[in-house]
Structures are given as structure tokens and as C-alpha cells.
Structure 1
Amino acid sequence: MQSAKTKQFWQRHVDGWRSSGLTQKQYSQKHGVNALTLAQWSHRLKRDRTEVPGRALVPVRVVGEVSPAPIQVQHGAWRISVPVGTDTHWLATLMREIVAC
């Protein structure tokens, strides 16, 4: 696990790069940091923002008759309908991408 100091250091550089208008390579050369490490931290910090603690998709067992009507899923302004039997892994991936938008 990375130290809070390291995470803060890279968060400042990722924010600085994003607001600079420079490419990662140009920003890295100007500030003396490794361009590959900047890219890795940019990805990691973005991923960390999309993972909301305390929220998770959980399996649900439907008891009784299943309706053939599509399943409606909504998050904010996004609403999708998926047929019964849709692959749950695909749906979970889709929902994570929607939440990241």
C-alpha cells in the first residue's frame, strides 16, 4: 500500500498535468518526474475515485415467477433496460462505466 505522502505527491502532479495543457511527456520533462509513473498514477487515482466505499453490487435471488419484462436499471439521468437473463458480469461492468461518467 502506498503512503499518503506518495499519493498526495502524485495527486498534485496529476492535477498539475491535467490543468497544464501539456502532454504527459512534456509535463514530466518540465517537472522532473517519470512520464510512465505519471501515467500509472493518473490511471490509479481515476480508478480510486470510481470505487465508492460501502457500495457494491450484490447477488439477488428472485423467488417466485420471473416476469419476462426487461429489467430497468437507473443511475442519475441514465436509464437502461436489459432483458431477463443478461450476463451479470457484463451488467456490473456497464454500471461501473456509467457511474464513472
Structure 2
Amino acid sequence: MAIPKPERFWQQHVDTWRESGLTQKQYIKRHGLNAMTLAKWSSVLQRRLRATPGQALVPVRVVGEQVPASAIEVRRGALRLLVPVGTDPHWVAALLREMPAC
């Protein structure tokens, strides 16, 4: 599916603005853009990114078959996750939301 031209245009500007280190005001002045429009597209694109499944990256460390004495095993379909005791439960929940159900 092709990305509509206005969306592609604003995605490029939002990405360039964020990478530029400039404030929004400096960026729009330099490129002759409307502040409200850039802010709107920035918000729309950010919401879409958060809502798109499978787009989040989380750090993963692959370990052998040994189970640490202080770990909790979590299974989701064919996937097996060993989580050290004391791991932030919010991080585990976010990881589980991103794991496909195999």
C-alpha cells in the first residue's frame, strides 16, 4: 500500500526536524512551514507508530538452556522467556505485549 504524498511529505519533515536538534519554531522558520500543521502531523505520526503492532524494539539477551536459580519462566506459545527475579514487571508486560502468540 502506497503512502499518500502529504503523509510522506510530513513524515520526512517530522523526522528531519527531530533529528536536526532545532526547536520546532526554528525548524518551521527555516523551512517555511506552518507550526500548527507540523505539530499536528508530528502527533498523528507518533500515535500511528505507537499503535502499529510489531514496531517496538526491546532488548533481548539469548541464553542457553540453563535456568538461573532465581528466574521465572514465562511461556507464550512456542516461545520461552526466562526473567530474572526482580525484573521490572512493567518491562515484562511490555515485552509480552510485543511477543507474537506462537
Q: Structure 1 length normalisation: TM-score?
A: 0.50
Work out the number of aligned pairs and report it.
60
Report the equivalent of 1:28. Answer: 28
Please list, as runs of the form range in 1=range in 2, the aligned pairs for 1:20-99 lying within 5 A after superposition. Answer: 20-52=20-52, 78-79=91-92
CA-based RMSD: 2.9
Percent of residue pairs identical: 51
1:52 is displaced (CA, Å) by: 2.4
Which TM-score applies when normalising by structure 2? Answer: 0.50
Give, in whole Å, the separation in 2 of the partners of 1:36 and 1:17: 14
Q: Which runs of 4+ in 1 moved over 4 A?
A: none
Unpaired stretches in structure 1, ≥5 consecutive residues: 54-75, 81-94
Deviation at 1:24, TM superposition (A): 0.5
Q: CA deviation at 1:46?
A: 0.6
AA paired with 1:27? Y
- What is the DSSP-based 3-state SS (H/G/I as helix, E as strand, rest coil) of the residue aligned with 1:33? coil
